[in-house]
Amino acid sequence: MQKAGTKRKVRSKQVQRAPGSEASMKPAPETVRPTTGAKLANKAALITGGDSGIGRAVAVAFAQQGCDVAIAYLNEHADARETARLVEAHGRTCVLIPGDLAERSHCQQVVRTAVKELGRLHILVNNAGVHTPQKTLGAISEKQLMHTFAVNVFACFHLAQEALKSMRRGASIINTTSVTAYRGSAELIDYAASKGALVSFTRSLSAALNKRGIRVNAVAPGPVWTPLIPSSFDAKKVAQFGSDAPMERVGQPAEIAPCYVFLASEDASYITGQVLHPNGGEIVNG
């Protein structure tokens, strides 16, 4: 039986009479993969924005699957320590790396620290993001625009550039984009634009890394209950958040995290350049 994660190219000129027989196929299709237990056993991941919300849920889900993690965050130290406690409860290592990802030099240092402390790097999750609602386009200052793209887009470039120095065949990069990249947002114009950029970044980088055997995918969550919501919107909007989704409710970080586990694992070995859409049922055709 072929081992999971190996690549087998079919170079057969075999022809059969319809409807065909699998028993006669040479080589035989791989229809069953051996169960390996933990999906991310002995792997190491760097997760940005890992102190809370989706990032925390991903860190814990990875740890449950046998993965050591490093989490990068700004300055939410209490939240970060709680994430570490949750990860370590599963017997895995959690490295905390605070600092501003808007700075290229810090992005580089984050990766170097993760590699040094964990000894390896198999998975990069570009999850950290910011948004600041504004009523009009004119209300978005140059400072806000540059900061949104520095954290949401430029940091992903800088982190990936540094991470690829340590990543080998079989590694995975997962970017967090957003449903707003596909349908837009009247009050989050710069944020939606930055998330749209991540969709294109995902598709382009996946093409660039195909021959290296490194997969690049993304997750585009819909409304999710994270600290970003009550810290960005007024009380009325917070109370209604998620009610316009087809499922008529907000999503929970734990409902989003399995997408990242799947994309990081061998279960997704034939998937690259794609976006998963855990968004409560909204059809985005993207």
Q: What is the pLDDT of residues 70-95, one digit of tens each?
A: 999 999 999 999 999 999 999 999 99
> Could you tell me if residue 17 is inside a domain?
no
4 domain-assigned: no
Asked about 270 being catalytic, the answer comes back as no
Q: Could you tell me if residue 13 is inside a domain? A: no
Position 9 in a domain: no
Element (H, E) at 183: helix 180-183
CA–CA gap between residue 125 and residue 114 (Å, rounded): 12
Residue 12 lies in a domain: no
Of 195, 196, 228, nearest to 76 by C-alpha is: 228
How many domains would you assign to the chain? 1
> What digits encode the pLDDT tens for the residues 221-258?
998 988 778 877 878 887 888 788 988 898 889 999 99
**Residue 140 resides in a domain:** yes
State the catalytic residue, choosing from 182, 191, 260, 270. 191
* CATH number of the domain bearing residue 98: 3.40.50.720
What is the residue-averaged pLDDT of the chain? 93
Give residue for tokens 């930055």: 194
Q: 33 in a domain, yes or no? A: no
Range of the structural domain that residue 57 is part of: 38-276
